[in-house]
Structure 1
Amino acid sequence: MADSRRSAERLVNRMQRVVDAQKRIILFLLSIIGAFLLTYFVTIQEEQFSVIQQYVFFILIFAVTLWVTEAIPPFAVGILIVGLLIFLIGQAETNVPGQPGYIDVTTFIQTWSNSVIWLMLGGFFLALALRKTGLDADLFALTMSKVGSKPSQILFGMMLATAVASMVMSNTATTAMMVASILPFINKLGKEHGLSKALLLGIPSAAAIGGMGTIIGSPPNAIAVEAINSMSKAKSGGIQIGFLEWMVLGVPVAMILVLIFWFLLKRKFKLNEMGVDSVVEIKNEPSNLEERFQKRIVLAVLAVTVLLWLTGRWHGIPSAAVSGIPIIFFPMIGIITGDDVREIPWDTLMLVAGGLSLGLAIQESGLAEFFVAKLSNFTFNEYAMMTIFAFATVLFSNIMSNTATATILIPVASILPGVNPAYMAMVIGVSASCALFLPVSTPPNAIAYSTSLLKQSDFRFGGLTIGLLGPILVIVWVVFLYMIGYF
């Protein structure tokens, strides 16, 4: 009986994979057709559209459609973007070296050497070292031993620790580590206990929110910084954003949102003031001499790297160069091996590199200037545009990758006449971390949902709360920093 049941399950799984593959193929073909038709109808009425601009517009629409439909994984879209840009623009008859409007297609590959990519890679090495040495688990143990035994205190401590950790580690890795750490605790409490649900909702939300705090905390932050700094170089005298400047922008917003959501969770689940000491067990396993040495090395490298990131405006060392410290040092002393490097989320870097290439193509092809000319006849209220784009970012990030959303919206918002492109990029970059409405909205939500202790409807509370309050708070903070002359 058991064998026949397993055989039936395998058959059902195979059939489901076939159906899923067919669905993705159909969506992929529909995306091509839709992008082609939209490009045709838009460009046929505009004689000023060059051949290269038509190609870039088609690639933009095609990429957006693939990101929304998820016909192929998001990272594959990033690679496809680079390939299409090189192939279509490279073979265009009008793309002649030495002629006006010539685009060297090798620049689309060079996004892999972009400072944003190296900054994120340095962050990934730090996160990997924290996990390998067990310092991430030590953070959980330290938090639980310090926050107290009341349910509200435990919830606050775990959310705060998660938010802080996600500023250095990836949101996904932080959530996976924290959820794995609390599952034995939740099993003893019981899944119906208010604290159990509060923790499973609070931790992924705090991870996403905490990612706002630093450039390496979330890919949309890095995309926004790259856009701002690129525009600053082009205008020679604009805003330059470094690691510290972004923390001034992101950390206060993140901490306020964590506090607000903690308070609302405490009220919603009526966390009583009864102690739960009987189920809180912190196991601090003694480390051997080598493990203690490695932990101290990781802490030292982390401290030096973050310190240099924060003080970049004084010593002048680029953040990307500072990222080389963990990349070189950890493998040198054996903390990170070649096998460990394979665990780095290269798919995220592929997605970001593809998005940067697309943004570069929009600028180099003159497509951005074309739309600027079309929009120049309209008057836009800066605060209204900030609000519209902030909530649009949250909406799109709930149904597609927040990295893809930032990649699409930041270049569009940056060309609107009458608005400050740097402030628009900041608002969009931070708002991208406020999308928490669905289990699939973010990987942290998906991790919490995978425990089977939450229903899909449970995420609506945090999704609505953060999705409505977050963008407003971001806009208010950006405007305040502008008014006091910080930016």
Structure 2
Amino acid sequence: MFDSDSRYAALKWYRKLRLGWIFNTSTFIGNFVIALVVTYFFDGLGYGEAVNYVFFLSMLSIGLWVTEAIPPFAVGIFIIATLLLGFGTDYIIEESSPVDLYVGTWTSNVIWLLLGGFFLAEGMRVVELDRSLFRFTIRRFGSKPEQLLLGLMLTTGVASMVMSNTATTAMMISSIIPLVHLMGKKSPYSIALLTGIPAAASVGGIGTIIGSTPNAIAVGALAEKGINLTFMDWMIFGFPVGIFLVLAFWKFLVSRNHIKGLEIDLSKLPKSTDKVDPFKRKAVIFTLIVTILMWLTEPVHGIPVAATSAVPIVLLTMTQVIMADQVRTLPWDTLMLVAGGLALGIALVEVGLADIVMNEVNSLPIPTFGIAIVFSLVAVLLSNVMSNTAAASILVPLGLALPAPYSVAVPLIVAISCSCSLLLPVSTPSNAISYATGLIEQKQFRPGGLMLILLGPATAMVAVMLWSLVFV
């Protein structure tokens, strides 16, 4: 499929000539110039050089995230380095200021929480607990097409609450490929599978702090303001929202694709041939149970979730479930991106740029509730064309400047809305994995993507506002 696409073929030829660096360099310079021009006009407002500097960096970062002139994780590194240059020296801003806040994002609770989640996900993959989840789904939900689709989506959604959404999608997509080949790529059921699984992985991740990177960014930003959300605090509203959106998307697919009455043959599905060490499997199960229980019971024992994240790191390496080579393959680039995003958010708040923007927003002739709606829609729309982590990094600090209780609710609404971007193959890595199979067309993502653009933010608004009224 891809080789027949002239644009893809041209891109391959372009890369073979090793001229890709010319495009990336020119794009970087273009973004730099645009950011400079926009900042030149912003400077006329007279907010001072520190505000202007952070504004320039924000504009440049947004451009780099959208155009991907450099990888998203490299933007994160660039943000921290540029903040250190601007505020830690007198080369750009005349008076230097402490920069520990920006460097400290590397050791924030969010980073350790995500790292613990990465180790758990890798451990589950090594001992094939992921495949066991798939086989359990088959046994539990049977072969009726609508029930099997529900089972696969629920399994994907729940698994993505403790595993990377990308890894969960890759695991489930690889398991159903033989069935898709059997049914044919034009079959309504194949379309339902290849759109339903990535959607379930994305919205299922809403259920826990570690389920989606925007969740962790929102929690980290609130923690900087002295508002600490426990693992269980998030699940009170996040878990119901995640499950509801999975069920709503399943119902949408069943209705739209008319899959009732179809017959499917499960005998072609792959079976595991590798033998798994029983000791290692038990070690992963034990580690998984202990870690999740400690995360859920943080209010009881008082051990921070970041400290609990050391449990899977220590136990899974001590029992040799995860070896040094596997540690090197973990998504360290995600941590770099998150650290940079958190640093940019801190800078927006520290220099007062977030307050400036929100003062202008608050002066608009709409109520604060309307502003919260705008934030949620902007979040889901931005996340469809750029990294949801980047979108959350930009919008969450701005939401913190709203009056209470919106200063707590809006960052959470933004995080959830960022996980509902499923309009395009590039909107989320989960969609990209499904699209890369060559068995689904880009236009087939649109109906479900449009549905979630509306339903996702609306559900987030209702759930988070109710939670904030009761618990905040």
TM class by shorter-chain length? over 0.9
Unaligned runs of 5+ in 2: 1-8
Partner of 1:90: 88
**1:112 aligned residue (106, 112, 120):** 106
| Matches of 1:182 and 1:188, distance apart in 2 | 10
Q: 1:338, CA displacement in angstroms?
A: 0.8
Q: 2 CA distance for matches of 1:396 and 1:462?
A: 17
Contact 1:381 1:419 in 2 (8 A): no
Q: 1:279 to 1:84 in 2, by over 3 A?
A: same
Q: Which residue of 2 aligns with 1:455?
A: 441
CA contact (8 A) 1:179 1:448 kept: yes
In the TM superposition, what is the alpha-carbon distance from 1:106 to its structure 2 partner?
3.5
Q: Does 1:394 align with 2:380?
A: yes
How far apart in 2 are the matches of 1:201 and 1:464? Answer: 13
Question: Percent of aligned positions with the same letter in both sequences?
Answer: 44
CA contact (8 A) 1:189 1:279 kept: no
**Residue matched to 2:25:** 25
- Determine whether 1:318 maps to 2:304: yes
8 Å CA contact retained: 1:376, 1:417: no
User: Structure 2: which amino acid aligns with 1:76?
Assistant: A
Give the letter aligned to residue 118 of structure 1. W
Q: Are 1:86 and 1:106, in contact at CA under 8 Å, matched by a contact in 2?
A: no
Q: What residue identity is the alignment partner of 1:58?
A: F
Paired AA for residue 128 in structure 1: E
Among 118, 126, 129, the alignment partner of 2:120 is 126
User: Mapping of 1:352-363 within 5 angstroms?
Assistant: 352-363=338-349
SS at match of 1:399: coil
The answer for the alignment partner of 1:433 in structure 2 is 419
Cα deviations by residue, 1:157-202 (Å, 9 ceiling, x for unpaired): 1000000000000110000011011112222222232221111110
1:17, distance to aligned residue in structure 2 (A) = 5.6
Q: Which shows bigger deviation, 341-350 or 50-59?
A: 50-59
Q: Work out whether 1:242 is the aligned partner of 2:227.
A: no
Deviation sequence 1:429-464 (CA, Å, 0-9, x none): 101000000000000000000111111100001101
User: CA separation in 2, counterparts of 1:194 and 1:371?
Assistant: 46
Retained in 2: the 8 A contact 1:165–1:174?
A: yes
AA of the residue aligned to 1:141: R
Deviation of 1:69 (Å): 1.5
The residue type equivalent to 1:241 in the other structure is L
Q: 1:409 to 1:11 in 2, by over 3 A?
A: closer
TM-score, reference length from structure 1: 0.90
Q: 1:17 to 1:443 in 2, by over 3 A?
A: farther
Correspondent of 2:209 among 193, 215, 220:
215
Question: Contact (CA 8 Å) 1:27, 1:71: kept in 2 or not?
Answer: yes
Deviation at 1:256, TM superposition (A): 1.0
Listed as ranges, the matches of 1:334-413 within 5 Å are: 334-371=320-357, 380-413=366-399
| Residue matched to 2:75 | 77
Counterpart residue type for residue 28 of structure 1: F
- 1:352-402 deviation line (CA, Å, top 9, x unaligned): 000111112222223334445556655652221121111100100000000
Give, in angstroms, the shift of residue 254 of structure 1: 1.1
Q: Aligned pair 1:270/2:254, yes or no? A: no
**Equivalent in the alignment of 2:3:** none
The answer to whether the 8 A contact 1:167-1:212 is kept is yes
Please tell me whether the aligned partners of residues 95 and 103 of structure 1 are also in contact (alpha carbons under 8 angstroms). no
Letter paired with 2:393: T
Which residue of structure 2 lines up, in the alignment, with residue 328 of structure 1? 314
Whole-angstrom distance in 2 between the partners of 1:395 and 1:105: 33
One of 54, 57, 60 as aligned partner of 1:59: 57
| Cα separation, 2, equivalents of 1:308 and 1:91 | 42
Task: Look up the SS of the partner of 2:29 in the other structure.
Answer: helix
- More deviation in 297-306 or 276-285? 276-285
Answer with 264-273 or 204-213: which moved more.
264-273
* CA distance, structure 1, for counterparts of residue 342 and residue 104 of structure 2: 10
CA distance in 2, matches of 1:365, 1:12: 44
Shift of 1:103: 2.4
Is 1:254 the counterpart of 2:242? The answer is: yes
Paired residue secondary structure (1:436): coil
Segment drifting more, 272-281 vs 324-333: 272-281
- Give the 5 Å matches for 1:3-42: 13-14=13-14, 18=18, 20-42=20-42
Residues 228, 105 of structure 1: CA spacing in aligned structure 2 closer, same or farther, 3 A cutoff?
closer
Displacement of 1:83 after TM fit?
0.9
CA distance in 1, matches of 2:462, 2:249: 18
1:422 aligns with one of 385, 405, 408: 408
> Larger Rg: 1 or 2?
1
> Quick check: 1:228 aligned with 2:216?
no
> What is the aligned partner in structure 2 of residue 486 from structure 1?
471
Identify unmatched segments of 5+ residues in structure 1: 1-8, 234-238
Provide the residue aligned with 2:44 in structure 1. Answer: 44
Cα shift at 1:24:
2.0
Measured after TM superposition, the shift of residue 286 of structure 1 is: 7.9
CA contact (8 A) 1:372 1:417 kept: no
Corresponding residue SS for 1:271 = coil
Q: Compare 101-110 and 265-274 and name the one that shifted more.
A: 101-110
Match of 1:155? 149
| Residues in 1 aligned to 2:51 and 2:178: alpha-carbon distance in whole angstroms | 56
Deviation string 1:390-440 (CA, Å, 9 cap, x unpaired) is: 110010000000000000011122223576211001100101000000000
Q: Distance in 2 between matches of 1:306 and 1:281?
A: 31
Aligned residue for 1:441, secondary structure, equals coil
CA RMSD, Structure 1 to Structure 2 (Å): 2.2
Q: 2: CA distance between counterparts of 1:281 and 1:42?
A: 59
Work out the CA distance in 2 between the residues paired with 1:429 and 1:14.
Answer: 37
SS in 2 for 1:211: helix
Q: Is the Cα contact below 8 Å between 1:395 and 1:435 reproduced in 2?
A: yes
Question: Cα gap change, 1:286/1:70 in structure 2, threshold over 3 Å: closer, same or farther?
Answer: closer
- CA change 1:278–1:244 in 2 (3 A) is closer
After alignment, is 444-453 or 86-95 more displaced?
Answer: 86-95
Q: Is the 8 A contact 1:449 1:456 kept in 2?
A: yes
Deviation at 1:284, TM superposition (A): 5.5
Indicate how the Cα distance of structure 1 residues 156 and 278 shifts in structure 2: closer, same or farther if over 3 A, else same: closer
Q: 1:475 to 1:372 in 2, by over 3 A?
A: closer
Q: 1:280 to 1:32 in 2, by over 3 A?
A: same
Please list the CA deviations of residues 121-146 of structure 1 after superposition, one character each: whole Å capped at 9, or x if unmatched: 00000000000111111111111121
| 2:251 alignment partner AA | F
Q: Decide which of 178, 185, 188 is 2:172's aligned counterpart.
A: 178
Which stretches of structure 1, 4 residues or longer, exceed 6 Å deviation after superposition?
93-96
Q: Secondary structure at the match of 1:109?
A: helix
2:419, 2:52 → 1: CA distance? Answer: 32
For 1:14 and 1:79, locate their aligned partners in 2 and report how far apart those are by CA, in whole Å.
Answer: 27
Local SS of the residue matching 1:434 = coil
Q: TM-score, normalised by structure 2?
A: 0.93
